[in-house]
Structure 1
Amino acid sequence: MPKKMKRRTFLKSTFGTFLTVLGLGSGGYFYANRIEPSLLEINKLEIKHTLIPDSFNGTKIVQFSDTHLGFHYNVNQFKKLVDKINQLEPDLIFFTGDLLDEPNKYGEINKIAPILQQLNATIGKYCIYGNHDHGGYGSEIYRNLMELSNFTVLLNESLLIKQNDGSSISLIGIDDRMLGKPDLDLAMKRVPDDSFKLLLSHAPDVADEALNYGIHWQLSGHSHGGQVKIPFVGALVIPPFAQNYPEGLYTISGVNALSLYVNRGIGTTRLPFRFMAKPELTLYTLMSSETD
């Protein structure tokens, strides 16, 4: 298990990032603080595998992550995000953690569930815990909000997503690696061996462990894509458990290959900046394939 980064070390690194952003000058400061955080990208990928039944061909999944409501991301922005997701007409919606930046300090908590309830998905809405969903005594706050919003919370458990003809794929969700208690053994307990296995894990680096469980695809967030990246240097601050896989698509080889996608998230945390790390929605299309 990777060694946890001490909070003091992480904050020190974050402060160094802040000084670097200031060094970009007033124009760079304004861009990173006001403009790039609003430049939402929609990235499209196909999820292909022989174990995906033909009945799932064309099924659309929207993943969103890391809204961090309350830290320079407000209710009005959140409403626009929900409208954007609905415009994509998803069959499935996955939220991969960190809804509120500080759950027990958020002053507009009663406004969140009615907004999330407006998200439409023909098959269902599912979510997992991120580290901020546990922080600030937030575990029950988060679960209550998401269940009130018609999301199914997956906490070290799995379920079958079924089509009318009885065909199915397995969806697995585990707890956050930083502040939760992830348990893949427990989560995989009822997963059929012959099903397509899709894992939701807030922390990307769990993929190195998930590879040993026959997981075919993993969807994660947490990293914010580095949130602030400097040309020729890269991301200056990447959180614990997103060190190996900070952004984008990866193929991890083993006895069975695992595909991992790391979503850059929507909001910001610790620093109100994004630089070369635009916020992201990811639209996936499921496809049966003759080859793995």
Structure 2
Amino acid sequence: MVQISDIHYDHLPIRIQDAFLDRVIEKVNALKPDIIVITGDFVQREPEPIHQLIDKHLNRLKAKYGIYNILGNHDYKTSHGAELITKAFEKTDMTLLHNQVAYPMGKGKGRIQLVGLGDYSRKRVNFLVDQVKESLEEPNRPRIVLSHNPDSAKDLVEFEIDLQLSGHTHGGQVCFPNGRPILPILDKLMTRILPKRELVRISYPRKVVKNWEWARGHHILEQETRPERPFNLYVNRGLATHPPLRLFCDPEITLILLSPK
């Protein structure tokens, strides 16, 4: 399985270049994945560039059992964004999961269940776990959940989930040489220095994600009631770069090898 995330394609692709995306598509296909998942933020704000993104790039992806996608918070930035992106994917061979469940290899015993959820930042409207709760509670089923914001793991850890795949954080994007994100430190500094009336005007780090310890990579969440079935969370660093730069935090293509226990 291969995961990519956070493309942020735009009319003026200052966050990601077509030439770079061409290399990404080539590298992903060279891995010959069984399944490809894209964990949200296809566009930056306006959804119309999704057509160019699909036609020039995503339609070239190849996976044995299919390509499965979810929306990210940027895909909901306009009132018509989610609907337009959903309709665009309906014209492709890719599957967009919006609080839905898929079985890429069929429903037979031991076959993977793939659950795709909506945007957690507006969870009362978009992140509708109740619509898939019955599937999440199905016993003895290998289960992978796609959820753009890693903070959602707090809500999902109660279920029997083997792996949650997220993005959203860009890995912190600007990090110290050891990979530790600078943004949460900046958050604490601004909280101490700036008055509250100024903080509410700033889209500062805490509004991006709360659990910065999950900014990138693999994490195992504690499950006291089910120690034999750990909840694995993997957070992809994403592909796009918000201006001005990435520092000690390269874009990421994640190759995930799944094996029976």
User: The TM-score by the shorter chain falls in which range?
Assistant: 0.7 to 0.9
TM-score for both structures, normalised by structure 1: 0.71
- Which amino acid in the other structure matches residue 58 of structure 2? L
SS at match of 2:253: strand
8 Å CA contact 2:110–2:142 kept in 1: the answer is no
Amino acid at match of 1:259: N
| Aligned position for 1:247 | 216
Aligned partner of 1:113 in structure 2 is 54
Deviation at 1:150, TM superposition (A): 2.0
- Asked if structure 2 preserves the Cα contact closer than 8 Å seen for 1:222 and 1:242, the reply is no
Corresponding residue of 1:278: 250
Q: What's the TM-score once normalised by structure 2's chain length?
A: 0.79
Q: Is the 8 A contact 1:62 1:93 kept in 2?
A: yes
Q: Is the 8 A contact 1:172 1:188 kept in 2?
A: no
Give runs of ≥4 in structure 1 deviating > 4 Å. 163-167
Q: Which amino acid letter does the alignment assign opposite residue 68 of structure 2?
A: Y
For residue 92 of structure 1, the aligned residue among 29, 35, 40 is: 35
In the alignment, what sits opposite 1:182?
A: 127
| Equivalent residue, structure 2, for 1:15 | none
Cα deviation for residue 174 of structure 1 reads: 0.7
Q: Which residue of 2 aligns with 1:66?
A: 6
Kept in 2, the 8 Å contact 1:205–1:242? The answer is: yes
Distance 1:76 1:196, change over 3 A: same
The structure with higher relative contact order (CA 8 Å, sep 6+) is 1
Distance verdict in 2 for CA 1:136–1:225, change over 3 Å: same
Asked if 2 retains the 8 angstrom alpha-carbon contact of 1:155 and 1:173, the reply is: yes
CA contact (8 A) 1:223 1:242 kept: no
Gaps in structure 1 of 5+ consecutive residues? 1-60
In structure 1, the residue matched to 2:236 is: 263
Alpha-carbon deviations, 1:129-172, whole Å to 9, x = none?
A: 10011113421222123333322111112122325976512111
Q: 1:18-97 maps to which residues of 2 (within 5 A)?
A: 61-70=1-10, 71-97=14-40
- Over aligned residues, Cα RMSD in angstroms? 2.2
Structure 1 distance, partners of 2:159, 2:231, is 10
Q: Which has the higher strand share?
A: 1
Residues 157-196 of structure 1 aligned to structure 2 (within 5 Å): 157-162=100-105, 167-179=110-122, 181-191=126-136, 192-196=138-142
Structure 1 pair 232/194, CA: closer, same or farther in 2 (3 Å)?
Answer: closer
Aligned residues: 226
Deviation at 1:232, TM superposition (A): 7.6
Structure 2 residue ranges without an equivalent (≥5): 184-204
The 2-side partners of 1:185 and 1:164 are apart by 21
Write the distance in 2 (CA, Å) between the matches of 1:157 and 1:189.
Answer: 11
Matching residue of 2:189: none
Q: Secondary structure at the match of 2:74?
A: helix
SS at match of 1:95: strand
Q: CA deviation at 1:241?
A: 4.6
Match of 2:146 in 1: 200
Aligned mates of 1:233, 1:113 — CA distance in 2: 32
The AA in structure 1 aligned to 2:40 is: G
